[in-house]
Amino acid sequence: MIDETLTMIPGPTPVHPRILDALARPTVSHVAPSFVEAFREALAGFRTLCRSESGQPFVVAGGGTLAMEIALVNVVAPGERLLVVSQGYFGDRYAELAQAFGIPCDVLRSEWGKAVAPDELKARLASGSYAAVTITHVDTSTGTKSPAAAYCELLKGRDELVILDGVCATGGIDEPFDAWGVDVLLTGPQKAIGAPPGLALALFSEKALARRRSRAAVPAYYADVLRWLPVMQDPSRYFSTPCVNEITALAEALRILHTEGLEARFARHARQARAFRAGIEACGLSLFTEAPSRAETLSVVLYPEGIADAAFRKEMAARGVVVSGSLGSLAGRAFRLGHMGNIGPAEVAATLGAIEESLAALGVAVPRGAALAAAAPFLAPGA
Ligand SMILES: Cc1ncc(COP(=O)(O)O)c(C=O)c1O
C-alpha cells in the first residue's frame, strides 16, 4: 500500500475495500442499465437512511457546500429572510452563503463548544418570521451536536422551511426526516456514510419542492433542483453527466450501511464515541465540547499545557494515524478526532494506542494501556 495510514479525521473517513472496489470498476456509460440501477439504488438507499417515505432525493457531483447551496437557493429567494442557527464554523458558512445570494439573515450563535438552547430559538421565532431556518446537526469545527429534534419541534406548524445540515451526522446519528418535519436534509458521502468525497446529497420534502416550483426561476443553473428532478425520478435521463464511479461507490456504501441496519449503526457510533472519550480521559486529556452536546461522530480534544499541535500530529502520523487540527479560535489548542463511518474496535484501539505513545514521546506521562483499558468496556456490541 502506498499510503497506508488510518485517516481518523472528521471526514473523509476510512473507505472500506468493498467501496473502493466499487469505485474502481470500469467507468460505464451513464445510461448503462447496470449504472442506472446502481443510481436508483443509491437514491432509494439515501432516502431510507433518512427514514423518509416521500422525500425526493438528489445526488449530484459536488461537495457538502454545494449541497448547502442547493438547499438554500431553491427555497429562499434573494430578499427573503433566513434564520441561521450556528454552533460554529459550518453554521456560520450558511450566513456567508446567504450573503452571496443577497439573502438577509439573522444568526443565532452559541458560544463555541455549546449548543444554542431551544428556548433562544423559541424567543427568536416569537419575534419574527423567516423563509427558512438552517440547523447544523453536528458542527465539525466544535464537535457540537445541536438539539435538532427540539428545534424542529418548535418549527412544526410554522411557515419556515427547515434546512438541516447533516454533513457530519447522516449515517452515524439518527435523522428521522419525516418525523422531525425536515424540509431539506443536505449531506455528503465522506463522513458517517463512509464513501469517498465528491457528491452533494439532498432530500427535499414536498413542501420544499412546492416552494421551488412556486418561483419562476432561482439564481442557479447546475444547483436548480427542477433541472435535476427528471434524472432523480428516472436515472436513465440526462441533465449533466453523473459521476458514474462515485455514485456506484455510494450505492455500495449504502448497501453496507443498510446491511448493518440503522439502529445497530447509530448504536455503534454511540458506543465508539463513549469508548474514545473514556480512553482520551484516561490519558489525562480533556474534551472541548460541553458534555450534553458532544456528537457521536467526532471529538475535539484539548492539548495539555506544553504540547504543540504540529508536534503531536507529527508523532501520530509517524504511528500511522492521521488526526485533524482545529479551526478558528481553537486552532493550535485542540485536535479533532473523527470516529464515524466504517470503523470498528481495531481502529479505536490503534488510534488510542497512537495517542498514548505520541503523548509519551512528547514527555507526557501516560500509564501504558490505560486508554484501551478504559475504552474496552464500551467496545462490545450491546455495551
Ligand atoms: C457540518 C458541515 N457542513 C458542511 C460542510 C462542507 O462540506 P464540504 O467540505 O464537502 O464542502 C462540512 C465539511 O466538513 C461540514 O462538516
Q: pLDDT tens digits, residue range 328-339?
A: 999 999 999 999
Shortest-distance atom of ligand 1 to CA 169? 1
What pLDDT, on the 0 to 100 scale, is given for residue 383? 75
What pLDDT, on the 0 to 100 scale, is given for residue 380? 79
CA 93 to centroid of ligand 1, rounded, Å: 9
Q: Residue 226 in contact with residue 51, Cβ under 8 Å?
A: no
Most informative mutation of 7, 167, 187, 191 for ligand 1 (most atoms within 8 A of CB): 167
Above 60 in pLDDT, residue 2?
A: no
What pLDDT, on the 0 to 100 scale, is given for residue 3? 64
pLDDT tens string 344-378: 999 999 999 999 999 999 999 888 899 999 999 99
What is the CATH class of 17-260? Answer: alpha beta
Q: Residue 274 in contact with residue 52, Cβ under 8 Å?
A: no
Above 50 in pLDDT, residue 37?
A: yes
Q: How far apart are CA 361 and CA 104, in angstroms?
A: 51
For ligand 1, atom 16, name the residue with the nearest CA: 140
pTM of the predicted model, to two decimals?
0.97
Above 90 in pLDDT, residue 280?
A: yes
Question: What number is the average pLDDT over the span 22-43?
Answer: 98
Across 4-8, 182-186, 207-211, least confident range? 4-8
Domain ranges of the chain: 17-260, 261-378
Across 67-71, 72-76, 301-305, 363-367, least confident range? 363-367
Tell me, which fold does domain 261-378 have in CATH?
Answer: Aspartate Aminotransferase, domain 1 (3.90.1150)
Above 80 in pLDDT, residue 44?
A: yes
The fraction of the chain above a pLDDT of 70, given in percent, is 99
For ligand 1, atom 15, name the residue with the nearest CA: 167
CA 11 to centroid of ligand 1, rounded, Å: 9
Which grid cell sits at 116? 444554542
What pLDDT, on the 0 to 100 scale, is given for residue 1? 44
Q: Residue 166 in contact with residue 185, Cβ under 8 Å?
A: yes
Shortest-distance atom of ligand 1 to CA 65? 11
Give the 3-state secondary structure percentages of the chain, helix then strand then coil, rounded to 5. Answer: 45, 15, 40
CA 196 to centroid of ligand 1, rounded, Å: 13
Secondary structure of 78-117 in HEC code, one letter for each residue: CCCCEEEEECCHHHHHHHHHHHHCCCCEEEEECCCCCCCC
What pLDDT, on the 0 to 100 scale, is given for residue 364? 93
Most informative mutation of 66, 90, 144, 246 for ligand 1 (most atoms within 8 A of CB): 90
Strands 138-139 and 286-287: unpaired
What pLDDT, on the 0 to 100 scale, is given for residue 11? 96
Q: How far apart are CA 339 and CA 246, in angstroms?
A: 22
Burial class (CB in 10 A: 0-12, 13-18, 19+), 284: middle
> At CA 208, angle to CA 207 and CA 211, rounded to 5?
90
Strands 132-136 and 56-61: unpaired
CA 225 to centroid of ligand 1, rounded, Å: 20
Which has the closest alpha carbon to 48: 196, 277, 203?
A: 203
CA 64 to centroid of ligand 1, rounded, Å: 5
Shortest-distance atom of ligand 1 to CA 141? 16
Pocket residues for ligand 1 (CB within 6 Å)?
A: 11, 63-65, 68, 90, 136, 139-140, 165, 167-168, 188
First to last CA, the chain: 34
Shortest-distance atom of ligand 1 to CA 63? 10
Shortest-distance atom of ligand 1 to CA 137? 1
What pLDDT, on the 0 to 100 scale, is given for residue 337? 98
| H-helix or E-strand spanning residue 376 | none
Question: What number is the average pLDDT over the span 204-210?
Answer: 98
For ligand 1, atom 2, name the residue with the nearest CA: 167
Is the torsion defined by CA of 209, 211, 215, 221 positive or negative? negative
For ligand 1, atom 4, name the residue with the nearest CA: 64
Question: What number is the average pLDDT over the span 280-292?
Answer: 96
Most informative mutation of 168, 193, 336 for ligand 1 (most atoms within 8 A of CB): 168
* Within this chain, domains 17-260 and 261-378 share the same CATH topology: no
Above 80 in pLDDT, residue 382?
A: no
Q: Which amino acid is at 32?
A: A
CA 144 to centroid of ligand 1, rounded, Å: 14
CA 165 to centroid of ligand 1, rounded, Å: 9
| Preceding amide of 292 cis, omega within 30 | no
CA 366 to centroid of ligand 1, rounded, Å: 34
Number of Cβ within a 10 Å radius of residue 317:
14
Secondary structure of 204-224 in HEC code, one letter for each residue: ECHHHHHHHHCCCCCCCCCCC
What pLDDT, on the 0 to 100 scale, is given for residue 274? 97
